[in-house]
């Protein structure tokens, strides 16, 4: 959504389409673009996909008045999702997944990674020797980093 508006919203200070209009188009046509049935409207008979962002957290500095659409385009990420309903089912409540214990999954992954570190020592040693050559290549051949 953000990239699409960046590419089509106008050049510099010239605005081809406002963020509000782009957001409306995304809601109205996003399902079609992704091959999903429904119109995107919140009405009887539609899939009831609802995303609720925490605008208070999104605008926590609240120095100057900023429109909601501007906040969404400038700052919104998954971290600001308060609620998400897909096909009428709650997937996120109060910013937490309802069907997955994400913290437990992260703990299990960290334990698995830590358990495998010893078997990767030869790779880590080889990388220490290769890293200066890789960095040199990117600096001098590609002009970056």
pLDDT tens per residue, range 92-109: 999 999 998 989 999 999
pLDDT attached to residue 37: 81
Structure confidence at residue 85 as a pLDDT band (50, 70, 90): very high
pLDDT at position 2 over 90: no
Residue with tokens 């960095």, as numbered in its chain: 135
Q: Retrieve residue 138's tokens.
A: 């990117």
pLDDT tens per residue, range 28-83: 888 888 888 887 778 888 888 889 999 999 898 888 888 899 899 989 999 999 99
pLDDT attached to residue 102: 87
Domain boundaries, the chain: 2-97, 102-141
Contact in structure between 23 and 69 (CB atoms under 8 Å) = yes
The domain over range 2-97 is classified in CATH as 2.30.40: yes
The residues with which 51 forms a beta bridge, in sequence order, are: 84
Of the listed ranges 68-72, 127-131, 139-143, the one predicted with least confidence: 139-143
């Amino acid at each position: 959504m953000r990239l699409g508006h960046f590419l089509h919203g106008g050049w510099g200070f010239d605005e081809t389409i406002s963020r509000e209009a782009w957001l409306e188009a995304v809601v109205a046509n996003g399902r079609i673009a992704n091959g999903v049935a429904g119109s995107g409207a919140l009405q009887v008979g539609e899939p009831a996909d609802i995303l609720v962002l925490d605008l208070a957290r999104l605008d926590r500095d609240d120095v100057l008045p900023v429109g909601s659409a501007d906040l969404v385009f400038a700052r919104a990420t998954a971290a600001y999702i308060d609620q998400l309903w897909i096909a009428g089912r709650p997937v996120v409540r109060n910013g937490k997944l309802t069907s997955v214990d994400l913290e437990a999954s992260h703990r299990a992954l960290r334990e698995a990674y830590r358990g495998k570190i010893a078997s990767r020592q030869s790779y880590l040693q080889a990388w220490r020797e290769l890293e200066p050559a890789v960095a040199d290549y990117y600096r001098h051949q590609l002009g970056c980093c």
